[in-house]
Amino acid sequence: MAEKLLEIRNLKQYFNQGKPNEVRAVDDVSFDIYKGETLGLVGESGCGKSTTGRTIIRLYNATDGQVIYDGVDVHDKKSKKDLKTFNRKMQMIFQDPYASLNPRMKVLDIIAEGLDIHGLVKNPKERKERVVELLETVGLNREHADRYAHEFSGGQRQRLGIARALAVEPEFIIADEPISALDVSIQAQVVNLLKELQEEKGLTYLFIAHDLSMVKYISDRIGVMYFGKLVELAPAEDLYNNPLHPYTQSLLSAIPLPDPNYERTRVRKSYDPSVHNYQDGEEIAMREITPGHFVFCSEKESESLKAISNSRL
């Protein structure tokens, strides 16, 4: 059994708590991420997936709950030194290739920033060499180091963002919609790169996205979020072949595929939260329906879901 790298326990991120415009962006979410795996996190806008990622990496302070990385609580009061160690282990790749690189800095400095902050190189020569090494890892080359971000295309910029994150030799990378802003053929380049890097360096990924086909391709397990709650969590194949939560079913039925015959016959299911008909006092939690496949439901629902799953096997 693989070891856990990250444990998220009852994570809450409420904005404007207590006020009339309170937003429960992340509402009591719990899940684990195992070493070496890619956990995909999907959902539509406003579901809280990006907020979850940013709270984990401490860009926001959690309202409540715990983020336990390698056994250590991340949101506890930490010394500067501890925080720095943590910064090295967990890194993030951002969505917007045009906003994620400083337009006034040369690529050399952008990528070397992590090296500079953590004092990982001894002199400018070593710094340059290390940056060139990173550039080559992501499929760019030496001459790109002296250029500015605006000279690169979207896909190349995303690769620069990846190189920047890799500079500090992290173990865990949160990819926050890294391909959403890229053209289809470029998405494949970046996704392939991420997969290669994972194998080479033994990285663990949290891959946040809304493009379900791409998420399935890259993820081992996938979590589906809806209005701040995690509604389903399962291995990728299971999720697509046997979606149990009605929202997941609705989501999957809405994806258009590049296959006209399939499209002619696809029927879309819409999701109405009232279909659950939860009674007062009913406890709704993440329950394991089949091994490794969790659904956010009531006791009653879990019974019927188990029955359905068994009949499908």
Partner 1 sequence: MSQDIKKLPAGSFERVHIDSTQAERISKPSMSFWQDAWLRIRKNKAAIVSMFILAFIVIMAFVGPMISPHDADTQTITHANLPPKVPGLEKLGIFDGVGTLGGKEVDLYEMKKVDTYYWFGTDGLGRDMFSRVWEGTQISLFIAFMAALIDMVIGVAYGGISGYYGGRVDDILQRIVEILYGIPTLVIVILMSLFMEPGITAIIIAITITGWVGMSRIVRGQVLKFKNQEFVLASRTLGASNGRIIVKHILPNILGIIIINTMFTIPGAIFFEAFLSFIGLGLQPPNASLGTLINDGYKMIKFQPHILLYPSLILSLLMIAFNLLGDGLRDALDPKMKD
Partner 2 sequence: MEKILEVKDLELSFHTFAGEVKAIRGVNFDLLKGETLAIVGESGSGKSVTTKAIMRLLPESSSEFKNGQILFNGKDLTKLTDKEMQKIRGKDISMIFQDPMTSLNPTMTIGNQIMEPILKHRKVSKSEARKVAVDLLRLVGLPKPEARIKQYPHQFSGGQRQRIVIAIALACNPQILIADEPTTALDVTIQAQILELMKDLQKKIDTSIIFITHDLGVVANVADRVAVMYGGKIVEIGTVDEIFYNPQHPYTWGLLSSMPSLDTAEEKLYAIPGTPPDLLSPPKGDAFALRSDYALKIDLEEAPPFFKVSDTHYAATWLLHPDAPQVEPPLAIVERMKKYPGSRYYEGTKGGSY
Interacting partner of 118 out of partner 1, partner 2, none (Cβ under 5 to 8 A depending on kind) = partner 1
Distance CA 290, CA 288 (A): 6
| Structural tokens at position 148 | 């500015």
Whether the CB-CB separation of 178 and 190 falls below 8 Å is answered with: yes
User: Closer CB to partner 2, residue 69 or residue 207?
Assistant: 207
3-state secondary structure 277-292: CCCCCCCCEEEEEECC
User: Closer CB to partner 1, residue 8 or residue 167?
Assistant: 167
Specify the 3-state DSSP secondary structure of 24.
strand
Interacting partner of 89 out of partner 1, partner 2, none (Cβ under 5 to 8 A depending on kind) = none
**Residue 268 Cβ vs partner 2, minimum distance, rounded to whole Å:** 5
Interacting positions 95-124 with partner 2 (CB under 8 A): none
**Residue 255 Cβ vs partner 1, minimum distance, rounded to whole Å:** 27
Per-position b or e across 85-122, b if 16+ CB within 10 A of its CB:
ebbbbbbbbbbbbeebbeeeebbbebbbebbeeeebbe
**Mutual angle of helices 124-137 and 107-118, in 10-degree steps:** 120
Distance CA 253, CA 18 (A): 37
Distance CA 240, CA 185 (A): 23
Q: Is 114 in the site for partner 1 (CB under 8 A)?
A: yes
Q: Is 13 in the site for partner 2 (CB under 8 A)?
A: no
Interacting partner of 212 out of partner 2, partner 1, none (Cβ under 5 to 8 A depending on kind) = partner 2
Q: Is 65 in the site for partner 1 (CB under 8 A)?
A: no
User: Closer CB to partner 2, residue 172 or residue 226?
Assistant: 226
Out of 4, 216, 276, 306, the residue judged to bind partner 2 by CB under 8 A: 216
Q: Report the DSSP pairing between strands 204-209 and 38-42.
A: parallel
Q: Is 139 in the site for partner 1 (CB under 8 A)?
A: yes
> For residue 61, what are the contacts with CB-CB under 8 A and spacing of at least 6?
55, 75
Nearest-5° Cα angle at 91, 197 to 80: 145
Q: Is 99 in the site for partner 1 (CB under 8 A)?
A: yes
Q: Is 195 in the site for partner 2 (CB under 8 A)?
A: yes
**Residue 92 Cβ vs partner 1, minimum distance, rounded to whole Å:** 5
- The alpha carbon of residue 203 and the mean position of all alpha carbons in its chain are separated, in whole angstroms, by 13
Q: Is 118 in the site for partner 1 (CB under 8 A)?
A: yes
Positions touching partner 1 (CB under 8 A) are 54, 57, 59, 83-84, 87-88, 90-92, 94-96, 99-106, 110, 113-114, 117-118, 139-141, 143-144, 146-148, 150-152, 156, 161, 164, 168
Positions touching partner 2 (CB under 8 A) are 44-45, 153-156, 183-189, 191-192, 195, 210, 212-214, 216-217, 237, 240, 250-251, 254-263, 266, 268, 270-271
